[in-house]
Amino acid sequence: MGNQEAIALKNCRLVLRWVGDSLEVLSNVDILIRNGKIERIAKSGSVTVSEKEYHIVDCSNKIVLPGIVNAHTHSPMVLLRGYCDDLELHEWLNRMWEVERHLDSRIIELASELAVMEMLSTGTTAFVDMYFFPEITAEVAKRYGIRAALGPPLIEVLYSADKCFREIENFYRKYRNDELIIPIVNVHSIYTCSLETVKTAAEFAREHGLNLHIHVSETRKEVFDAKRKYGKFPVEILHDLGVLNKYAHLVHLGWVTSREIELIRFSDATVTHCPVSNMKLATAGFFPFFEMMASGINVTIGTDGAASNNCLDMFREMKTAVLLQRNNYWDTRIKAMHVLRAATLCGYRLLKLNGGNIQEGYLADLVLLDAESPYLQPLRMDNVVSNIVYAATGRDVAMTIVNGRIVYDRERDYERWKRRCSEIASELNRFIQKFIS
């Protein structure tokens, strides 16, 4: 991880930033970074910087984007990439849990490291995680310099609620003032936890000002079972439990009604769309991106875990989000700009951080793309957003900056990281082989 206190991104070919919710494209500018924040944005050559004072990066062949947030994942599940790929959700979950009962701290550390390297090298600057042994993932995230919002998961079908709440409290106390780690309350779902447990979790989250992160209305079965058992739809149940508020972070929402969308809107909750995972697990339904966005709901994007995606590349996820929405709406109301905003500005709104934008005073969480990549040509100011969303993938990331530090530099890190990934994969394969019949 880089330790520069001051960085000058000189002669940036193109810079994308948000002005309100509108996108502005700048050309030939310098970005000065100091103490983890964007200090100044100026026309190239208008500000003189010293090599003694700044680490200077020539960006004449770079596109600079705001940091990207993977708003929902299970990062150590890279362990299970390619494992049981052709099952539907509930059968798939049972197969995942068969393996997960045998996880230990060593496997979690290796899998977390593999995931963090994948995310940083593909331009993710922050991720929201729900998985076991979160303290280990948090320490890996700190070591590599990526932001992570996470905490112990509440899954009563596997662990007692009392045990989980003790772990949540301990995790919160350890990381509540951390520079990179954001404690959250993770509740798996209303079908793996009692409603009383969900209510208690919401009270804890609200009392401590923490986001409550939960899977909701992911499948038709989940909605059907909730309606049959409680006489209400899942979002209505969460509303009655007091879960819906500005701290609520609802994921999937492929099977929601118009009334539930209104409840989410009035509560100021955030929602996350995971298009690839939903299609791969055949959960069907339809995430109402446009209706939610148009009503003022904060809409974000996540990859879900690599066991159900099978990658953590947010550029691929943005493209898929647009294509799935257009397929379902039969029109083009969802634009490239909408998903880019969801992945950047809206992701940082979810985390309640002043980031996801390139403005003076904002967090210096930035992604630099190779403007000379053959996959992005021809490149112009008028097509750069389209090329980023529809043509770019993580392979086009040249550098990732988090909290004012260069945490991934393709020229410096790629070969070394590739060797490390291979070493990790060898050990993970030895573990997973025991479960392959």
Q: Where in the chain is the domain with CATH 3.20.20.140?
A: 68-351
- Residue 90 — very low, low, confident or very high, per pLDDT cuts 50/70/90? confident
Closest by CA position to 389, among listed 16, 116, 118: 16
C-alpha distances out from residue 375 to 146, 384, 418, Å: 27, 12, 22
- Rounded to the nearest 5 degrees, what angle is found at the Cα of 143, between the Cα atoms of 49 and 174? 115
Rg, C-alpha atoms of the chain? 21
- Residue 5 — very low, low, confident or very high, per pLDDT cuts 50/70/90? confident
- Residue 4 — very low, low, confident or very high, per pLDDT cuts 50/70/90? low
Give the range among 67-81, 87-101, 356-370 with minimum mean pLDDT: 87-101
**What architecture does CATH give domain 6-66+358-412?**
Roll (2.30)
Q: What is the mean pLDDT of residues 358-365?
A: 98
Question: Which tokens sit at 143?
Answer: 């070591």
Closest by CA position to 402, among listed 375, 431, 365, 436: 365
Q: Is 422 exposed, middle or buried (0-12, 13-18, 19+ CB in 10 A)?
A: exposed
Percent of the chain scoring above 90 in pLDDT: 91
- Residue 193 — very low, low, confident or very high, per pLDDT cuts 50/70/90? very high
Question: Which tokens sit at 245?
Answer: 């508020």
**Fold classified for 68-351:** TIM Barrel (3.20.20)
102 pLDDT above the threshold of 90: yes
Q: What average pLDDT is seen over the chain?
A: 96
1 pLDDT above the threshold of 70: no
| CA dihedral for 250, 255, 261, 267, sign (positive or negative) | negative
Q: What is the pTM of this model?
A: 0.97
Q: Where in the chain is the domain with CATH 2.30.40.10?
A: 6-66+358-412
